[in-house]
Amino acid sequence: MNINYIFRSYDIRGIYGKDLTGDVTEKIGLAIASYLKSDIAIARDMRDSSNTLMERVIDGITKGGRNVYLLGMLPFGPGMFYSWKRGLPFVHITASHLPAEWGGIKIFHSSGTSLIDKEIIKLRDMVLGGVTGSANGNIQNIDSKEVLKEYRNYLVSKLKPAKKMRIVIDCGNGMAGLIARELFQKAGFEVSMLFEELDGSFPNRSSEPTDESLTDLKKGVNGSIGIAYDGDADRTVFVDGRGRALKAEHLAAVMLMDLSQYAKGPVVANVECTRMIEDVAEKYSLGLQRIRVGHPYLVSESKRLNAILGVEDSGHFILPFLLPFGDAIAVSLYAVCVLSKLNKSLADIVDSLPQYSSAKLKFACSDRNKFVVVENMKDTLARQYKKLTTIDGVRVDIPEGWMLVRASNTEPIVRMTIEAVGEKEMLAMKKRFAAMLEESIKNLDKKK
């Protein structure tokens, strides 16, 4: 079995039972124990596969001579919070926003930063090299309810609304269902819930909160504020009172209305984020630093640059003043607390921001070919355009807008993002660049 491709840029993911088998997962646990050289905290999400995967990872870690603090089922934020407070690395068994058949393993240092790139490659090489172990580490069971309580109390002590507001929370049958209702009610909000019950088959909507998947939330807000999470609750999407699913940059703009009054430092945004975030940063005399796509890069670069806020268009955020890692639940609580101070509705704030027309496209492309396709696109675009950015994929800036094409770090697809000054310009760019990418994929397929 070729297991190379399950080791991604910053996590380990594959189809459960096909790519992620018990033996492979145990070897990954052994490699984690050997590489981190520390006792380790571990938790899982509610997917049908996650308990088995967690047990085999624990088998590997303990055979590697390390002790395990077993936290049970937890969203990302509370699990990482527990580990950060105690100086422990954290392993989360989750495939995050991916469909139910996927399994995954995320590995974090105690600081909240993920193992990235070379570190993941090191783990892969240890697994392929036949890492072994025969020691007997111990397992200490930690009450997940106590972990949630500690996390909740910390956030409620830090964040308080100026007035009571109604919010509607769509957990998507994911891990936010364990904490969202109680947290927001304790903070002082009136809460209505959607799809709160944990169900790893995601019966009500996809694990990824998108404009298309949030139909029920958009209908249910009825003038209030909607919040949605993905499966492990490390991404969030807001819906305004008019039933519009907002861009992550809209939420970032709301938070900057408050942060800019007392915090210092730049804003960090990945290369996919809309130009609007540049406009907002400039309005508040804040610098803006573009980075490559990926939650771990957002966290590490925000720390390196002493940023006041980090944002990814996928719905990942980091608020360094609050937590040293990206946690969608904590960020969403802060955002609604900010909104409670303002005299304008979320919808009115969004309408007051600079407007651009945009499109996001996905093109099926095998993990084997997707990076080659992007390299070929770089060559093609370099012959036709002058202003290219290549920190992640290739981005072309032209007078009417910009286009970015990049290989997904987590799925067998190539992503294209287009933004333009108007709808007409965006559609013309979409037609031109999509045809170019489709031709590149087609030409590579012919060479098989």
φ, ψ dihedrals at 21, nearest 5° = -100, 170
The pLDDT score that the predictor gives to residue 412 is 86
Q: What's 347's DSSP letter?
A: H
4-143 folds as Alpha-D-Glucose-1,6-Bisphosphate; Chain A, domain 3 (3.40.120)
Listed by start position, the domains of the chain span 4-143, 159-352, 357-446
The pLDDT score that the predictor gives to residue 143 is 98
The pLDDT score that the predictor gives to residue 4 is 77
Q: Among candidates 360, 357, 363, 359, which has minimal Cα distance to 437?
A: 363
Beta pairing class for 394-398 and 12-15: unpaired
Phi-psi domain of 285 (left: phi exceeds 0; alpha: psi -120 through 50; beta: other): left
Q: Among candidates 314, 325, 331, 213, which has minimal Cα distance to 272?
A: 314
Q: Which helix (H) or strand (E) holds 238?
A: strand 236-239
The pLDDT score that the predictor gives to residue 195 is 98
Contact indicator for 284, 351 with CB cutoff of 8 Å:
no
What is the distance between the alpha carbons of residues 227 and 415, in angstroms, rounded to a whole number? 25
In the three-class reduction of DSSP (H, G, I as helix; E, B as strand; rest coil), residue 93 is classed as: strand
Contact indicator for 209, 170 with CB cutoff of 8 Å:
yes
Q: What's 4's DSSP letter?
A: G
Contact indicator for 325, 318 with CB cutoff of 8 Å:
yes
The pLDDT score that the predictor gives to residue 448 is 57
Domain 159-352 has CATH 3.40.120.10: yes
φ, ψ dihedrals at 421, nearest 5° = -70, -20
* Core vs surface per residue 246-271: b (16+ CB within 10 A) or e: bbbbbbbbbbbbbbbeebebbbbbbb
Per-residue pLDDT tens listing for the chain (448 residues) = 568 779 988 899 999 999 899 899 999 999 999 999 999 999 999 999 999 999 999 999 999 999 999 999 999 999 999 999 999 999 999 999 999 999 999 999 999 999 998 999 999 999 999 888 888 999 999 999 999 999 999 999 999 999 999 999 999 999 999 999 999 999 999 999 999 999 999 999 999 999 999 999 999 999 999 999 999 999 999 999 999 999 999 999 999 999 999 988 999 999 999 999 999 999 999 999 999 988 999 999 999 999 999 999 999 999 999 999 999 999 999 999 999 999 999 999 999 999 999 999 999 998 889 999 999 999 999 999 989 999 999 999 999 999 999 998 778 899 999 999 999 999 999 999 999 999 999 888 666 5
Beta pairing class for 413-420 and 357-364: antiparallel
In the three-class reduction of DSSP (H, G, I as helix; E, B as strand; rest coil), residue 64 is classed as: coil
Q: List, as one string, the DSSP characters of 264-313.
A: -S-EEEETTS-THHHHHHHHTT--EEEE-SSHHHHHHHHHHTT-SEEE-T
357-446 folds as TATA-Binding Protein (3.30.310)
Read off the tokens for 393.
């994929």
The pLDDT score that the predictor gives to residue 34 is 95
Global pTM reads: 0.92
For the chain, give the longest Cα–Cα distance.
65
CB atoms within 10 A of CB 46: 22
Length of the chain: 448
Read off the tokens for 105.
């393993």
The pLDDT score that the predictor gives to residue 405 is 96
End-to-end Cα spacing for the chain: 21
In the three-class reduction of DSSP (H, G, I as helix; E, B as strand; rest coil), residue 428 is classed as: helix
Contact indicator for 377, 396 with CB cutoff of 8 Å:
no
Handedness of CA 358, 13, 215, 278 (dihedral sign): negative
What is the distance between the alpha carbons of residues 78 and 83, in angstroms, rounded to a whole number? 9
- 4-143 and 159-352: same fold? yes
